[in-house]
Amino acid sequence: MSAAPLTVNVPLGERAYDIEIGPGLLDQAGKKLAALFPGARFGIVTDSNVASVQLPRLEASLTSEGLGFETHMVPAGEASKSYSRLGEVVEAMLAARLERNDVILALGGGVVGDLAGFAAAIIRRGMRFVQMPTSLLAQVDSSVGGKTGINSPHGKNLIGAFHQPSLVLADLDSLKTLPPRQFAAGYAEVAKYGLIDDADFFFWLEHNLKEIRNGGPARAEAIARSCAAKARVVVADEHEHGQRALLNLGHTFGHALEAATGFSDRLLHGEGVAIGMVLAHLYSARLGLAPGQDASRTEAHLKAAGLPTRLSDIPGDLPQTARLLELMYQDKKVTRGRLNFILTEGIGKAFIKRDVDGSDVEAFLEEMRNA
């Protein structure tokens, strides 16, 4: 018998929703959806990798409850967060005659969740949707909080909308088929929550890393604690006008590196975040804000989790440093042409540093290229 799922609530008033974390949730989805959305039809959005492994479980569950659904599949990978794929999803859902009170189901990792969630936000001026994250990264980060969107040639996640899901079903069984590299990439976002403002959680992760990787009880606890941490920040600052920006620790560096590598498999999102978090700690130490040993401890833990931690770990050549800086100026946190970074005073002590000197960042990155 499957263990009872852990539940984290995101208390947003009339838009409040639960995050359920446990095994077998895709197999139970039909019953849950029938109860939550009586009379609704469903539009499943998934990708080519997830479709071969997890989609049959979801479709069987919906069929067993007599629920009507249409499925649309996009290619796996970051490149699907594009105008063209968004248009395909929107037109497929309209062609299926899904109505405003029907429900989009996002079955997949962060790419599918962002893409399907954005489609739900704009189809018929807003449809309900359910996140069914199948990767660790999506379960602890992108499925929670209502950020949806696609990429632009100018940068990552620059086109989108805030649109909260009605439910998140994080099926732990889906992580069993996740390649080790993908699992490690997701773990970067778990570690992030400790590095932001919960040093005790980071130290707990150091102690429990092996069990989390092997799928023991600590895995569910790590995911639940991560979701609870994100939920607290989202409730306090839903539209990222202030403290929610702390969730972007490492992302200013990481997103620029993702863009520099063409949003390709050369550098997965979580890998970019891992390198970015190390760079943020090293840069903080360079500025005299944080102890150097905390940067070393952060790097050692992420490396132990199987993640890249330096620019030199990225395969292939990177653009010139000036180009990396140019990409950073497309970051969403830029204000009136001035860089803002999430820096740190040590593990668990992240803060927003405004008006950072771009030339100093460029010099730092140039040093890091050879580190």
pLDDT, tens digit, 9 for 90 and up, residues 28-58 = 999 999 999 999 999 999 999 999 999 999 9
- pLDDT at position 2 is 54
Place of tokens 């931690």: 309
- pLDDT at position 52 is 94
pLDDT, tens digit, 9 for 90 and up, residues 302-341 = 999 999 999 999 999 999 999 999 999 887 777 778 899 9
pLDDT, tens digit, 9 for 90 and up, residues 182-206 = 999 999 999 999 999 999 999 999 9
Q: Are residues 148 and 189 in the same domain?
A: no
Q: Are residues 334 and 200 in the same domain?
A: yes
Give CA separation, 55 vs 98, 101, 128, 144, 229, in Å.
20, 23, 20, 21, 29
Q: Are residues 77 and 170 in the same domain?
A: yes
- Domain for residue 150, yes or no? yes
List 240, 258, 271, 299, catalytic entry: 240
When pLDDT is averaged across residues 132-145 and rounded to a whole number, the result is: 96
Q: Residue 357 pLDDT more than 60?
A: yes
Here the tokens at position 161 are 């909308």
Decide if 333 is catalytic. no
List 59, 78, 88, 189, catalytic entry: 189
Q: Are residues 352 and 275 in the same domain?
A: yes
Number of folded domains that form the chain = 2
- Tell me the pLDDT of the chain averaged across its residues: 95
- pLDDT at position 1 is 39
Q: Residue 17 pLDDT more than 90?
A: yes
- Half-sphere exposure in the Cβ direction for 19 (13 Å, CA): 29
pLDDT, tens digit, 9 for 90 and up, residues 74-126 = 999 999 999 999 999 999 999 999 999 999 999 999 999 999 999 999 999 99
When pLDDT is averaged across residues 243-270 and rounded to a whole number, the result is: 93
List 230, 258, 271, 299, catalytic entry: 230
List 251, 258, 271, 301, catalytic entry: 251
When pLDDT is averaged across residues 176-180 and rounded to a whole number, the result is: 93
- Domain for residue 198, yes or no? yes
Decide if 353 is catalytic. no
- Domain for residue 1, yes or no? no
Domain of residue 235 covers: 180-368
Q: Are residues 157 and 237 in the same domain?
A: no
List 81, 156, 163, 269, catalytic entry: 269
Q: Are residues 188 and 167 in the same domain?
A: no
Domain boundary among 135, 160, 177: 177
Decide if 230 is catalytic. yes
Cα 67 to the center of its chain, rounded Å = 29
List 49, 151, 248, 340, catalytic entry: 248
List 97, 125, 241, 336, catalytic entry: 125
Domain boundary among 177, 192, 221: 177
Q: Are residues 341 and 363 in the same domain?
A: yes
Q: What is the DSSP string of 114-151?
A: HHHHHHHHHGGG--EEEEEE-SHHIIIIITSS-EEEEE
List 72, 85, 225, 255, catalytic entry: 255
List 57, 128, 163, 244, catalytic entry: 244
Burial of 297 (0-12, 13-18, 19+ CB in 10 A): middle
List 81, 85, 128, 147, catalytic entry: 147
Q: Are residues 247 and 197 in the same domain?
A: yes
Instruction: Check residue 16 and report its DSSP letter.
Output: -
pLDDT band at 3 (very low <50, low <70, confident <90, very high): low
Q: Are residues 61 and 157 in the same domain?
A: yes
Q: Are residues 169 and 283 in the same domain?
A: no
Tell me, what CATH number does 276's domain have?
1.20.1090.10
Q: Are residues 136 and 263 in the same domain?
A: no
Decide if 269 is catalytic. yes
- Domain for residue 351, yes or no? yes
Say which residues have a Cβ less than 8 Å from residue 142's Cβ, sequence separation at least 6.
109, 110, 113, 114, 133
Decide if 369 is catalytic. no
Tell me, what CATH number does 170's domain have?
3.40.50.1970
Q: Are residues 142 and 166 in the same domain?
A: yes
Based on DSSP, count helices (H) and strands (E) in the chain, helices before strands.
Answer: 14, 11
Domain boundary among 177, 208, 223: 177
Decide if 255 is catalytic. yes
